[in-house]
Chain A
Amino acid sequence: MTALKYKNFNFSQIWDRLGEILVNSSDPPEAFRQSLELLHQHLGVEATALFIRQENPPCLYRAYEVGNKDYWKSSLLNMGQGIAGWVAQHNHPAIIMESPEDKQLKKLMEDEFCRPLRNLMVFPLTVNHQVLGVWEIINFSSDPLTYQTMLPAIAREISLFLENIRLRRWTDDKILRLSTLMDITNVINSTWDLRRLLNLIMELAAKVMKAEISSLILIDKNINELVYEVVIGEKGKGLKQFRLKMEEGIPGWVVKKGQPLLIPDMEKDTRISKHLIEKIDLHGRSVLCAPLKIKDRVIGVVEVINKIGGGSFTQDDLELFTSLAHQAAIAIENSRLYQKEIDAQRWEQELAIARSLQESILPKNFPQIEGYDIAAITIPAEEIGGDFYDFIPLGSRNLGMVIADVSGKSIPAALFMAVTRTLLRAEARKGVLPGEILSRVNHYIMEDVQYRTFVTLVYAVLDTRLKRLIYVNAGHRFPLLLRVHKNQPEFLRSESLALGLSGEEKFSGRQVHLKEGDLLVFYTDGVIDAMNRHQEAFGQERLIQLVQKYRSLNAQGLIDKIQQELKEFTQGQPQFDDLTLIVLKLKGNES
């Protein structure tokens, strides 16, 4: 069935069909199987297989194969074991035309195969110089060298698909780990429960003082009221969460004076709150109330009402109760300090996670393209924001470039950044125009309203052969373009909204043609908003002057220079925003 359909495909048709399978796939295993089937039929080979690299320990797993399976021995190969293992280890393709004479090669063949082969072609599947797997093709019916030029391109296509799957998994995994972490901190917080501790203290107070009701009342600073936080005793039930005005009732008096109070007979005392009397049944009995003091600050009071079995509280009771109040105050203060400590620790943890997230998604290497000189840098601020840059290889001649600034900070920003980056990578691979790509990414972001944030970015696709740049600027600072032999910069402007603001936004690309000697500088807010001691910002003008002055430096040199100037300008003032730069130079014709 499929065999007939594919039989007469030429290379561009097979290429199109492969792209279609991989791009539209929501089921990666099925996509791999279909791709191999397609290649098997079209290339006229006996068998073909895909090995995927596994970690811990590093090895190769033969995940998919199509055609005659009798040749392979095991489905697992160590790195360096067999031909596939050798290819993965050396990140170098292998072409074997006939049964080899070479002893070492012979050994490799025997490690992997149980029968001799006519011929064999093996390609490493790599992205950013990292081997993700190996593609193996066994026994071409015609001369394998006929396919020598087209197979590497197919290998690249499969590599990018593997990378996409890996990215998707990675994002899911990170999100899972973060939510687990949040759960754990919640548990820690709830075990150190101040309320439980205070309940214990007040139960003890009721027992020791032989009181019908014992209660702990705290000042609510936000609205200047007194709140019954803990109430022990059947008769006091109605008092829970009862509120008094700041100077109301007996607690109000004690808070104001900052000293304990003993009332042997409440009915003869005018200080008692009318509201309080309405709430509970308190016929002519006794009250003891003492302030909760931390240093000289009163944070609330403890109160016992009515001695069980009648009678009044005594002066001895007052002394005992005052020292109990002291204990309660210490417990409250400790718990607050402890809570602060936990918050600080959690903050540290959050920062560390956010930082590692940000670091792990930045490309480790800059693209090496003949005729171009490219460098980039991100320096995260103390309270990490969400800047990132990315380089996305798109086939052999196009390069996608991204600079982005996610609003917000810490984990939410870092997560949003990871999501945006993954979406961009996945969409960019589909080969549509940059404007369309951003429209799609924006659409996904808008669907996920819980983030309630936005990202400004520039996405540009450089056609390295035509020296043509198609870019979309979504609400980002305008990148600078310094033309060769010209001093005034052009700006890569755009009228598009930042991503995440409106689902109806249409993004459209603009195009510039570059010449040898042209210089492009992409940057984020952190560069021009950097402040010195006099609250003066670095500003766009200073950046432009700097770029003009040092345009003859290479890309990395220019970045170093800008970084150095920023350091001198800010003179140790804290960096409050992430700072990111990409510099792209077209070599030759230096001005």
Chain B
Amino acid sequence: MKIQSRPAVGNNKITVLDLMGRVDAFDASDFEKEIKKVLEAGQYYLILNLEKTTYVSSSGLSVILRMAKEARNNRGDLRLMNLNLTVRDTFEIAGFHRIIRIFPNEMEAVASFQDIFSAYDRFEIQKF
């Protein structure tokens, strides 16, 4: 597993986390550490790019869940993009697609944050 962060294309208020490889039970705690660093740096508008992610275990899912909670508690959000079929399956079976928004590409994911940036829409984001 490898993870890198960068500003999103077209909007540098948003941070994209490129996640590469597998996130199984062994990697989940490293994954969490990396993500905590980003949150602790005060970045709460997050897109997790799963383009090069081959597998996410349930421990990985719970890290994503905690991260989204943390972001939302700070008036931000975590959204996902570029999921391959296997990974998409994992998310949908557990019902994650209903509480975390998923986009096919970076352009749409970035555009979706407009709802947060216009403050009145903020309440539409589902609270856990």
Interface residues of A (CB under 8 A from B): 381, 383, 385, 405-409, 452-454, 456, 474-478, 495-498, 501-502, 525, 529, 535, 537, 576-577
A452–B70 Cα distance when bound, in Å, is: 11
Choose one: A409, A474, A529; the contact of B55 (CB below 8 Å).
Answer: A529
B42 within 8 A of A: no
Whole-angstrom distance from the CB of A220 to the nearest CB of chain B? 15
Residues of B within 8 A of A525 (CB): 57-58
B65 within 8 A of A: yes
Q: A385-B58, A577-B58 are in contact. List 13 more A-B contacts (CB 8 A).
A: A385-B59, A407-B61, A408-B59, A409-B28, A454-B94, A474-B95, A478-B93, A497-B94, A497-B95, A498-B95, A501-B94, A501-B128, A576-B26
Quick check: B55 and A407 within 8 Å, CB to CB? no
Choose one: B57, B86, B99; the contact of A501 (CB below 8 Å).
Answer: B99
Known: A381-B25, A576-B25, A577-B25. A409 touches B94 (CB 8 A): no
B2 within 8 A of A: no
Residues of A within 8 A of B55 (CB): 529, 537
Known: A383-B26, A497-B98, A576-B25. A476 touches B93 (CB 8 A): yes
Interface SS of chain A: loop
Enumerate 6 A-B pairs (CB-CB under 8 Å) in ascending A order: A383-B25, A476-B94, A501-B94, A537-B55, A577-B24, A577-B58
Known: A475-B94, A496-B95. A453 touches B24 (CB 8 A): no
Interface residues of B (CB under 8 A from A): 22, 24-26, 28, 54-55, 57-59, 61-62, 65-66, 69, 86, 93-96, 98-99, 126, 128
Quick check: A497 and B99 within 8 Å, CB to CB? yes
Quick check: A409 and B25 within 8 Å, CB to CB? yes
A535–B62 Cα distance when bound, in Å, is: 23
A474–B99 Cα distance when bound, in Å, is: 14
Quick check: B94 and A456 within 8 Å, CB to CB? yes
Quick check: A475 and B59 within 8 Å, CB to CB? no
Quick check: B99 and A456 within 8 Å, CB to CB? no
Whole-angstrom distance from the CB of B112 to the nearest CB of chain A? 20
Choose one: A406, A474, A502; the contact of B128 (CB below 8 Å).
Answer: A502
Residues of A within 8 A of B128 (CB): 501-502
Residues of A within 8 A of B98 (CB): 497
Residues of B within 8 A of A477 (CB): 93
Quick check: B99 and A453 within 8 Å, CB to CB? no
A525–B91 Cα distance when bound, in Å, is: 13
Quick check: B95 and A501 within 8 Å, CB to CB? yes
Quick check: B57 and A498 within 8 Å, CB to CB? no
Residue of B nearest to A453 (CB): B62
Residue of B nearest to A409 (CB): B25
A495–B62 Cα distance when bound, in Å, is: 19
Quick check: B94 and A577 within 8 Å, CB to CB? no
Residues of B within 8 A of A496 (CB): 95
A454–B99 Cα distance when bound, in Å, is: 13
Quick check: A452 and B62 within 8 Å, CB to CB? yes
Choose one: A408, A476, A529, A577; the contact of B62 (CB below 8 Å).
Answer: A408
A141–B25 Cα distance when bound, in Å, is: 64
Quick check: A501 and B25 within 8 Å, CB to CB? no
